[in-house]
Amino acid sequence: MDLKYEIGQLLSTAISELTQEEIMSILEVPGRMEMGDYAFPCFRLAKVYRKAPPQIAQELIEKIPASPFIKRVEAVNGYINFFMNPAPFISHVLTSVLEQREKYGSSIMGEGKNIVIDYSAPNIAKPFHIGHLRSTVIGNALYQIHAFLGYNCIGINHLGDWGTQFGKLIVAYKKWGSKEEIEEKGIQELNHLYVKFHEEAEQNPELEEEARGWFTKMEHGDEGALSLWKWFKEISLKEFNRVYDLLGVSFDSYAGESFYNDKMEPIIQELKDKKLLEKSEGAEIVDLSEEDMPPCLITKKDGSTLYATRDITAAIYRKNTYDFTRCIYITALEQNLHFAQWFTVIRKMGYDWHDKLVHVPFGMVSMETGKLSTRKGNVILLEDILKESIEKTKAIIEEKNPNLENKEETAKAVGIGAIIFNDLYNNRIKDIVFSWDKILNFDGETGPYVQYTHARACSVLKKAEVKEQNLEEVAFELLDDDASIQVCKVLEGFPKVIQEAAERLEPSLLSRHIMDLAQAFNKFYHECPILIAEEEIKRARLALVESVQIVLQNGLRLLGIDAPKQM
């Protein structure tokens, strides 16, 4: 039952001039509870009916049919205010949650549809730093949300495992590297060499040419160059997988840029055959001047390929392999132009699925100390941040609850969860400044606050020794106080929020919703005695507590966050 939908239906029987969808888009939630649960402003109808809004409101309420879910309807200053009948509403919401449990909010709307999600995509031989966190956790959340709605998701980690940077690394390794150092220090040593290359190249620009030469050798299958490249890749993946294990993130495919090496030539030929490829200063481009964009570079002067070449090839391969309904790319906002360019090339090639390619941009992440750069070496490793968060959480647990069972496990769940939630709480397009004080605050709008609320609900249920209740015997009508009603309103909105988060590719809608639920529940917890209440009221309130516990757990899970039972 959707209260807004129900009111939209009631109004549409009285207003023939607007569709139910139009009516629902105009419905408002009043600022104060005493003004009702929903309000319909009649000002838009003034021109249609040639009457004052207060008169229209008064006349329309005479035509609105009765509903068991609506207690009363009032006309006030040109608004029609709807007051919900709480008993059937609360009974319906809590029964739905308690019957559907971990499936509450799920759907079969995506059945039979494939969604490809391209996320994380760190560069081989470069540190997996805090800047990579956003693509990884946004992508994982969108994967979980779409899967919950019945879509078949294919998560792809399009590794940055090809390109001129490997030429740079080979040059740096041959000039200043040591096999033993790399085996011992892993990516840190590879990054050290990469930084040294850029420092040296500023004094000696010929190194750049040497690096391009090594990359061309790689493209032409030189065994020595490729064996070094494979070794750099193995060292990197070992380290990446440690971070993915900490985050609880996995992928269905690790097909990175190098996977498309033998698949690009036919695509370049297709661009030629379709008269889209032009020569420009020795390079090959697709002219996009009609679209007011710079040209899309397909091959360089030396014949080597670029990101766009590989992305175009990958998109065609993915469509042929997975026949996707949507192919979603989660990368930084600063890559907007790159995606706009090659999406346009796909359209110019005549592929009618070009509009199924979606770029999901996000803002930058920075530390309070400033911006990150792999070239200059001032990066903060994501693994270090995650481990530090776990340690800081452990210290908080030791201080506040030293006798807690499974301290290590809980510290990991809360420490990692705090970082993920912090990333997913604001609109993804916003830049994030990383602040420990904010992230690990158990009282603010944070992951630990939501997890603590979930643990609080679990604690109440454990103390009450809740067994499965016969829901028909629960007196839901006793939950008639404002705090209980507000909790149920937030619970009722959960399925809609999940669908909206999928449509708008915006996980923050879900994280904010479960924060609203945690806050509403804590208000209820402080205002409504549970374990000492009279038996019938206690049973009804425990049904509400259990519903909150289920939905918080579902919501956290979809964001990629564990929900500890004790904290």
Please list the active-site residues.
Answer: 126, 129, 132
Contacts of 496-499 with C-beta under 8 Å, sequence gap 24+, read 496/2, 498/105, 498/106, 498/107, 498/145, 498/148, 498/149, 498/558, 499/107, 499/109, 499/149
- The three-state DSSP-derived secondary structure of 165-187 is HHHHHHHHHHHHCCHHHHHHHCH
d(CA 240, CA 159): 11
Q: Is 85 helix (H, G, I), strand (E, B) or coil?
A: coil
Cβ-based neighbours of 482, under 8 Å, separated by 6 or more: 33
d(CA 2, CA 184): 59
* Contact by Cβ (8 Å): 492, 500: no
* Contact by Cβ (8 Å): 493, 96: no
* Contact by Cβ (8 Å): 358, 326: yes
> Rg of the Cα trace of the chain?
28
Can you name the residues that pair with 80 across neighbouring β-strands?
40, 75
Amino acid in the structure at residue 287: D
- What's the distance, CA 212 to chain centroid? 37
* Contact by Cβ (8 Å): 144, 136: no
State both tokens at 422.
Answer: 């912090």
Amino acid in the structure at residue 398: E
d(CA 318, CA 338): 19
Helix (H) or strand (E) holding 420: helix 407-425
* Contact by Cβ (8 Å): 140, 119: yes
Can you name the residues that pair with 285 across neighbouring β-strands?
278, 297
* Contact by Cβ (8 Å): 543, 528: no
Q: Do β-strands 79-84 and 70-76 pair in parallel, antiparallel, or remain unpaired?
A: antiparallel
d(CA 294, CA 338): 10
Query: 325: buried, middle or exposed (CB in 10 Å: 19+, 13-18, 0-12)?
Result: middle
